[in-house]
Structure 1
């Protein structure tokens, strides 16, 4: 790493300006603990408390932007230019996190839903971690697992504070990667879960999820494949929607209807979601994982924003803008984690949490994994330079 140049003679300058960093492949990341969901949930919980107190920065003039994305035109005169197919994006997601982390970083996000036809993940991700003082690289990481686990850990943080302690039944829409990591987080904080209901679109994904579930959580003794969103929600103590899909028409997003929900249910929504009018009622608690992110989205996109950003929290901001709900209805997970607002207050209340995905989460979990790798001697050391040619 960059060495301290203080009190060194000019002859020592070349050695002091050498910068090394480590490269971590996906298997290196696994060995460094990226799949340790219990630790990831604890890290995300710590991070949310820091977010509430403001010790972070993300992109944009508001310091809360999700990132910067390349948008492709519907019609292009260039035959090799990518088409704007569903979930087609190139995106940069930078952030800084203070406290014991004290690092900055950026996830570089390439995605195309057609990747699945090639046997590849929908998204192919890399993450670079930087020294927050010099800007020097500390690590370049394979980031698919980093991103998946930090995303799933957030519903786990929500469940720790907002789900009933005796929760046993989880309803899942969309049996993909996000469903696996979200369920892993629920199991980490509510180990009494013994029943899962799941709905998927294709048999291949369902079969893969069921095989993973049997191998990973044999203590889940009741597993049922259901045919409707209503069956996912009815009778579930915890509900999560994890399916991908096209944005643009909120009427096509999976709907949550108040009449389906039992008293005491906690709903964590990290993917497309809409709600019926009865879910707008003030007695339904509405929690945002980070209000600043949603306000940034609201500032940056045409109205109604739910047409462009399918998170249910954006639907709530549209409703505030329309005067249909009061802004005071929207709660902050960070404030709850920090102990400055109530978590679950009783066994009957219904709580729905929107999960938007924050670049600062990658920095938090990436920093922990990087330090694990250093401690265990994992990764390939690479040299940026011995001494920079230009200064």
Structure 2
């Protein structure tokens, strides 16, 4: 297999996969990505993984810049101005390690570039040799979007038909795609956004990509997107502090609703008490919260951080903070009746990239996609 070295040779080659190569190898196959993320979350809950940090649950290492110039040429801080490395290992049928590396700068959009530009290196778990070096913007977007689909597979009503979209951006595009992969009966999408341009663009994309959507509504209030929706997906970045987070009010969620949040969220207390609360991976929020001042939710507004705070201060019993991987494994039940309301937190973690990168890499090897590059025939230093 390309990228592997063996005991009889010191030569190391690896596969380079451009973005077009990644598309040919199936990086945008959402149904397969949802299956892969389901498998990954089960392994994660079982503990068959490693990430950075002393407890192996760190999101990665981030490098930021000062607010004022201190040396010639050094960048200064700004919106999404950072570099980050996100390493992980995943066991099971994957047995690979890898690292996503990216630089981010909101000013990129003025150049016609994505805010973040991502690459991924997949490595042999034993030698550390590179197996592949790949474009990772689509890799990251699809693995992120697939996690909501895994949640919908186990927690949303099987007869779900109506999806409410709050925040018509890239994250909700892939989320909607994953919902349709697991709940093909969806026929109605309601869209709420802060700007008409984003709503119109999202609606045009839905019409073009999903002809099965027979009803498409652009609404003027978040409440209208939430009410009467079987699945609600909120992905709206906001300023620090719960007073700035999008808030779901009492009476908005219908019985049986599945609320998926990939960004900041606040919820009325009555709704908190009505719902079951499930995270994609409970331990990542617990580890993250340990690095933040309490209450962690006021700094990082993910719903899983709010659940950590509630357990720590006694407002919630630990068993009420549920883990999707344990539901996948059958350790705890998924949906038990049609009226259960679920609030599902999506945080993202490097093992997701390793899982999907491994699948796409194996597809590329199988189908002869990509360019083989050589690291060396013999290492100069060994």
TM-score (norm 2): 0.96
Note if contact 1:280-1:325 (Cα within 8 Å) is conserved in structure 2. Answer: no
* Correspondences of 1:350-389 after superposition (within 5 Å): 350-389=341-380
Residues of 1 paired with 2:11 and 2:117: CA distance?
A: 30
Query: Tell me, what secondary structure is at the counterpart of 1:383?
Result: strand
- How big is the shift at 1:250? 2.2
Residues of 2 paired with 1:2 and 1:194: CA distance?
A: 46
* Correspondences of 1:126-275 after superposition (within 5 Å): 126-246=119-239, 248-275=240-267
Note if contact 2:4-2:14 (Cα within 8 Å) is conserved in structure 1. Answer: no
Query: Tell me, what secondary structure is at the counterpart of 2:113?
Result: coil
Residues of 1 paired with 2:161 and 2:22: CA distance?
A: 31
TM-score (norm 1): 0.94
| CA offsets 1:289-326 (integer angstroms, 9 cap, x no match) | 10110111011122221233221110111222232222
Select which of 329, 342, 345 maps to 2:336.
345
Select which of 40, 43, 47 maps to 1:47.
40
Select which of 324, 333, 343 maps to 2:315.
324
* Correspondences of 1:3-82 after superposition (within 5 Å): 3-5=5-7, 16-78=9-71, 80-82=73-75
Single out whichever of 74-83 and 212-221 deviates more from structure 2: 74-83
- 2:77 is matched with 84
Do residues 294 (structure 1) and 285 (structure 2) align? Answer: yes
Single out whichever of 231-240 and 299-308 deviates more from structure 2: 299-308
Residues of 1 paired with 2:295 and 2:5: CA distance?
A: 51
Residues of 2 paired with 1:200 and 1:106: CA distance?
A: 33
Residues of 2 paired with 1:273 and 1:109: CA distance?
A: 26
| CA offsets 1:255-278 (integer angstroms, 9 cap, x no match) | 122321111000111112122222
Query: Tell me, what secondary structure is at the counterpart of 1:384?
Result: strand
Residues of 2 paired with 1:78 and 1:280: CA distance?
A: 49
Residues of 2 paired with 1:88 and 1:351: CA distance?
A: 34
Note if contact 2:277-2:344 (Cα within 8 Å) is conserved in structure 1. Answer: yes
- How big is the shift at 1:115? 2.1
Query: Tell me, what secondary structure is at the counterpart of 2:171?
Result: helix
- 1:11 is matched with none
Do residues 278 (structure 1) and 248 (structure 2) align? Answer: no
Residues of 2 paired with 1:377 and 1:298: CA distance?
A: 44
Extract unaligned runs of 5+ from structure 2.
none
Query: Tell me, what secondary structure is at the counterpart of 1:152?
Result: helix
- How big is the shift at 1:2? 4.3
- 2:111 is matched with 118
| CA offsets 1:223-249 (integer angstroms, 9 cap, x no match) | 111112111211110001122344x22
Select which of 294, 306, 311 maps to 2:297.
306
- How big is the shift at 1:79? 5.9
Select which of 336, 356, 361 maps to 2:327.
336
- 2:100 is matched with 107
Task: Figure out how many residues of one structure are paired with residues of the other and give that number.
Answer: 380
Note if contact 1:163-1:265 (Cα within 8 Å) is conserved in structure 2. Answer: yes
Extract unaligned runs of 5+ from structure 1.
9-15
- 1:12 is matched with none
Pair 1:352–1:126, CA change in 2 (3 A): same
Single out whichever of 381-390 and 107-116 deviates more from structure 2: 107-116
- How big is the shift at 1:40? 0.4
Cα RMSD for the two superposed structures: 1.4
Query: Tell me, what secondary structure is at the counterpart of 2:290?
Result: helix
Query: Tell me, what secondary structure is at the counterpart of 1:258?
Result: coil
